[in-house]
Each structure stands twice: as C-alpha cells, then as structure tokens.
Structure 1
Amino acid sequence: MNKIKYTLLGLLGIFCLILFWGLLEPYLIDTEEEVAEIPGLPASWEGQRVALIADWQIGMWMDNTSTIRRIVKQLIEERPAIVLIAGDFIHDPGKDPSEEINKAVEIVRSLPLAGIPTYAVLGNHDYAMKNKHAPPDEKLAAKLHDALESVGVQVLQNEAVAIGKTGGNTPLYLVGIGAHWSNNDKPKVALAPVPEGTPRLVMMHNPDSFEALPPNTAPLAVAGHTHGGQFRLPFTPEWSWMTFTKEDEVHADGWIKGYGQPGNRLYVNRGIGFSIIPIRLNCPPEVTLFTLQSSL
C-alpha cells in the first residue's frame, strides 16, 4: 500500500514539475544562429544577418507579450539587416479587434523607428481562422495590414520587393506569400516579378505553401505557424504532439529535409506565442538569425 502511495506521490511531483517548467519555458528565449546560402547573393549582402520571428498570438489568455517585447529589444541590439515576421500577430480578435491590433502595432513600431527594415506576411489567425474550415475575415486582415503599414512594417501579400544593400546591378528580392488557410497563398504570383536566376529569399506563414514553389525558386524560404509542436519529447525534438495528432506530414521546426521541389530549402521558426494553452515544453520561443552567404 505504501509503495502505491509513494508511486502516486512521485507521479504527482513529476506532473507538478512538468507543469511548472511548461509555464516557465515560454519566457526563455532561444536564439538560433543559422547559415543560409543563396546563389548569386550580392556582395553587399555577404555576411549580413536576417532575423525571423513569428506567431505572436496577441489576445490569447496569458498571451506572451512580455517575451515579444524582450525579443524586439534584443533585435534592436543585434541590429540585423532586416527583420521578417511570419504572421499570426493576433490570436482571437473577438467582437472588437482594435485592442489586439493596437498592441501588436505598438510592439513592432520600435523596429522601423530603430532603422531596421521590417517585413511581414499575415497568418490564419490574422483572418480570425482557428481552423481550415472557418470563414476568413478579410476586413480584419485589411485592418491589421493597414495598421502595420502605418508604422513602417511592409506587409507582403503575394508580391516581391527588392530590399536594401543591393550593391551593383543585381538586387536581392524578398518574396512574401499570402495566408494558406484563407486561400490567399499564390506562390507563382508572388514570384512573377522576380527575374529568373535573381537571388531571393521567400517568406510565408504556413509551411504548406512551400510545396507549391517551382524548383530552384526558393533557396531560402522561411515560415512559422506550427509553434514547433509546442510540446516536444525531451531529447527527441522531431517528436511532438503534432506527430501523433496530425494526419498530414508534419513540418514542425528547423530545416525541413526532403520537402518541396529540388533546389528549394525551408526553415520553420517555432514562434513566440501559443495555441490552446499557454504552455511550452522542450520548445522555447525562437528568434532565428540567418547569416547570408553566396553559393556556387
């Protein structure tokens, strides 16, 4: 009898420890340093750093705005050449989305003010879509789009722009793809303005958009959406709750091998916020810093 009691107490202790860590980990920032090769990269971009963050989910109960603010402050100190934000600024806008939109805008405002060019795409939550079958709220997305643009964040929706530090006659293009769940992702439309063979990097919210990119059009593509699974088994980061609950192939975080067309490479950021509950296990919020270099 005592053995059973102590076993149950031990299991309860382990559960409490896991719960405590799960509530603490969202406030521990993990900065991932990665090297990304882009064919024909202009000399002025050689060695420059590109920062990627995603999935703020502002408006969820216990949303992680304190960590978002710390990350933005960190990026201002790091001073990358550009900052990319891969969608899902807000979580659940409710009847009046103005509070969530204003909070997101107020946080992100300091990046352009600090002189760091900042670009974004929208995600499914920015259309008030908690699942694939929910109707997209185009008006909400338009409000968020306009609010971000008003503070200097350029929001890309199936379009491409030549970004700074071009040098010489060959620019570096940034391609931004629209939200997948709202059927606004049109990779070929986004790539159309980019001359063939011109160096580029591609940003999207949902990794599922990556598969539609033609071969050799995205040597560096970045996405968010998955939160890295949010709960991952220790010592086996490729195994998360998504592995067991999703019917589709899971592309949760990091460099995704064997996915997409030849010549394309995707990196998925774990994001900052949450889905369903405000807990992360073995899956801390991520800032990704890519150092760009040319490849043959």
Structure 2
Amino acid sequence: MTARAHTPESQDELLEYRLSLRLGPVHARQRLGIEREAEAKVFGKDHDWFHLENLASAPGFIRFCLQAVGLFRRGQNNSRQLTTASNHFQLPNLPAAFEGFRILHLTDLHVDMDEANLQAVIERIAPLDYDLCVLTGDYRCLTRGPIDAALDGMARLREAIHGDAYAVLGNHDSIRMVPALEDMGYRLLMNEHVAVTRGEDRVYLAGVDDAHFYKVHNLHRAGDDIPVGAVSLLLSHTPEIFREAAHAGYDLFLCGHTHGGQICLPGGIPVTLDSDCPRFLGRGYWRQNGMQGYTSPGSGTSVINVRLNCPPEVTLHTLTRGPV
C-alpha cells in the first residue's frame, strides 16, 4: 500500500478546510480569495495595481538615494537600535486586580527583513517584566509570496516571549500563517475576543483581522458579547478604524502599521504614514471620543531596513485606575 502524495492542490484544500474550521467558511474564503487575487495581479500581467512594497526596484532605488546623500549606513544602524517606550493608560473603571497590569506591545516586526533587527528585538524584550504580550501585525517582510522565513522568525521570537501572546494579522501577513502561528503558541484574534482574568476580576481583549488592505475586520463579531461596562481593549493592525472602534465602545486601542513614518524629517515629521488616518494618530498616545489609543512606530522596517528620525521601539503599557 503506497502513501498518497500531497500535491499543492491537496495541501491548499487541507489549509482551506482547517481555516474554515478555525475562522468560519466565509472569513476563510474571503481572506484567501483576496490574497490569491492580489498575488495574481503582482506576479501576472496586470500592471495597474501598484504599491511601493510590491515594486521590486523600490528598495534598490531608495538605498541608492540614501547612499548618495550619506544617510544609508546611519539609517541602517538606527533601525537596529531599539528603545523601550513606556505608556500609562488611566481607566476609571479598571478592576482592582488589574492595577499596574503591564502589556508588552510588539508590532510591524517584519522578522524576515533583517536578521540583526530580529536579534535586537529578542535581546530587548528578554529582561522586560510584563503580564501579557500583544502583537499587532506585519510579521512578514513582503506583502506576498513565501511565508516560511517569517514563520521561522516568529518561532524564535515566541521563545523569547514569556506567558500568553495574543496577535492579529496585518496587511503583510498571509492567512496561511494562522495555523503555524497558533501551533507555536500565539493566540490569533480573528474578529474575536477573550477574557483576561485575575482572580474574580476580568478585562476583555478583542482583535480584528486586517482593516487596511484586506478590509476583513468585523468589530461586531469581535465585541458583541463583551459585557456592557467592562474594560475592553482592541487590537488592530492599523489606526484607520479608530472612529468605528471608539463608537463601538472600546476603552483602549492598540495598533501599528504606520512605522511612525520610518523615514522622517528632523523633528520626527513623517514623509508619509501609508495610512488613511489623521497625522495625530501616526505615532504614540492619542484620544478620540472617549477612547484612548496608542500607535506604535514598530520594531522592524518595511521596504528597506533604515530609519531616520524615527527610532524603533517595543512598548510597555501600564494600566492604572484613575481619571482619564
């Protein structure tokens, strides 16, 4: 009796079946279909669909320009010099057991972009003390293609993260990564929520699928069953849905995507944020309609591994009880 060979077609069918069980058939079909269509446009004959990240010559061109003005080496060194940023959220209704609760926030890691940067992230978080880790997307370097190198980097990172790690996907990430990431010990929140408990007290952590490119976020499905009045925190890759989230009643909103601009003018003024949102949401702490938010500039880099006037960071958020 011979074993049946696993063809690419049968592997795709198995993946789609597993994702359908995990996410529901509509979400799985929608995300997979959009990914396949986007990749066909990038690799096929349709040249109408343009994005800087999908232009093969973009990294070389940007590198040439930075080298010409003597900034490439400095920018590359900057991209590997991570800082630990501290942020405090004050919440009037924070349960007593969660006073001083600390959340490690990682985002835009692009782990297969630069080995030195990944190692710097691992070394930066190793000595940190926190109660929970959250990751807000963009684990892969490119927006299409193989996922193996990104998964390898995420596995190494998971070994450095202690305790629970909750994550959402970004526009660089493939839905094909979900089973492997969850096998590593990441809990993906795909328009879902979980209750984080301390004794008899609890707060609610929700997460949505990518709202930037794929537009597959569903705030209703993510939060309808969160009790009214409970403290709730939403993870989103992008800040673009800040208005929807605020009116949905979330207390806190954590996101990334913007890289803080990555290449900024002196004073940290971003040249571009690649995000359909006001500039005040581009980096750091902000408030909107009673909801508090934080947009991390991220730990990694996109397109080219340089940063100018915009240092990479890992972020420690501390929850405290008090007036906003």
> What's the counterpart of residue 33 of structure 2?
none
Question: 2:78 aligned with 1:25, yes or no?
Answer: yes
Cα distance in 1, alignment partners of residues 80 and 126 from structure 2: 18
Contact 1:53 / 1:271 at 8 angstroms: preserved in 2? yes
Deviations 1:210-268 (A, max 9, x none): 22124372222110001000012222x3x21117x8775333111235x4xx2112110
- In the other structure, the counterpart of 2:261 is 229
Q: Choose from 170, 179, 182 the match for 1:146.
A: 179
| TM-score, structure 2 as length reference | 0.72
Point out 4+ residue stretches in structure 1 off by more than 4 angstroms.
245-248
Structure 2 spans left out of the alignment, 5+ residues: 1-65
Change (3 A) 1:253 1:82: same
**Which residue is 2:109 aligned to?**
56
Q: Report the Cα offset of residue 276 of structure 1.
A: 2.1
- The answer as to 2:122 corresponding to 1:72 is yes
Matched, 1:15 2:64: no
CA distance in 2, matches of 1:72, 1:253: 22
Deviation at 1:190, TM superposition (A): 1.0
Aligned to 1:206: 238
**What is the CA distance between 1:275 and its match in structure 2?**
2.2
Letter aligned with residue 120 of structure 2: R
- 2:269 paired with 1:242: no
Question: 2:284 aligns to what?
Answer: 254
Q: Evaluate the alpha carbon distance shift between residue 149 and residue 39 of structure 1 in structure 2; reply closer, same or farther with a 3 A threshold.
A: farther
- In 2 relative to 1, CA 65–163 (structure 1 residues): closer, same or farther, beyond 3 Å? farther
Partner in structure 2 of residue 85 of structure 1: 135
State the 1:95 CA deviation.
4.5
2:262 touches 2:308 (CA, 8 Å); kept in 1? Answer: yes
The 1:44/1:229 distance shift into structure 2, 3 A limit, reads same
Shift of 1:66: 2.8
Q: Is the 8 Å Cα contact of residues 174 and 203 (structure 1) preserved in structure 2?
A: yes
Say whether the 8 Å CA contact 2:255–2:295 is kept in structure 1: yes
Report the Cα distance in structure 1 between the residues aligned to 2:106 and 2:67, rounded to whole angstroms: 34
The residue that corresponds to 1:175 in the other structure is 206
1:46 to 96, 99, 123: 99
Any idea what the Cα deviations from partners look like across 1:137-181, whole Å, max 9, x if unmatched? xxxx1x3111111121111011110114x232x311111111112
1:177–1:247 Cα change, 3 Å? closer
Match of 1:131 in 2: none
Secondary structure of the residue aligned to 1:126 is coil
Tell me the secondary structure at the aligned position of residue 79 of structure 1.
Answer: coil
The alpha carbon displacement at 1:71 in A equals 2.4
Residues 274-296 of structure 1: CA distance to partner in whole angstroms, max 9, x if unpaired? Answer: 22222100111111111110235
Aligned partners of 1:178, 1:69: CA distance in 2, in Å?
A: 27
Aligned to 1:276: 303
1:94, CA displacement in angstroms?
A: 5.4
Instruction: Please give the alpha-carbon distance, in whole angstroms, between the structure 1 residues aligned to 2:146 and 2:122.
Output: 26
Q: Deviations over 1:40-86 (max 9, x none)?
A: 21222101211111011234xxx233333332343232120011111
Q: What are the residue-to-residue correspondences of 1:210-221 with 2, within 5 Å?
A: 210-215=242-247, 217-221=249-253
CA distance in 2, matches of 1:28, 1:212: 35
Check conservation: 2:94, 2:320, Cα contact below 8 A. Answer: yes
Total equivalences in the alignment: 256
Name the CA distance, whole Å, in 2 between partners of 1:219 and 1:54: 20
Contact 1:54 1:224 in 2 (8 A): yes
CA RMSD of aligned residues (A): 2.4
Partner amino acid, structure 1, of 2:308: L
CA distance in 2 between partners of 1:184 and 1:218 (Å) = 19
- Could you say what secondary structure the match of 2:297 adopts? coil
| SS of match in other structure, 1:108 | helix
Distance 1:287 1:197 in 2: 30
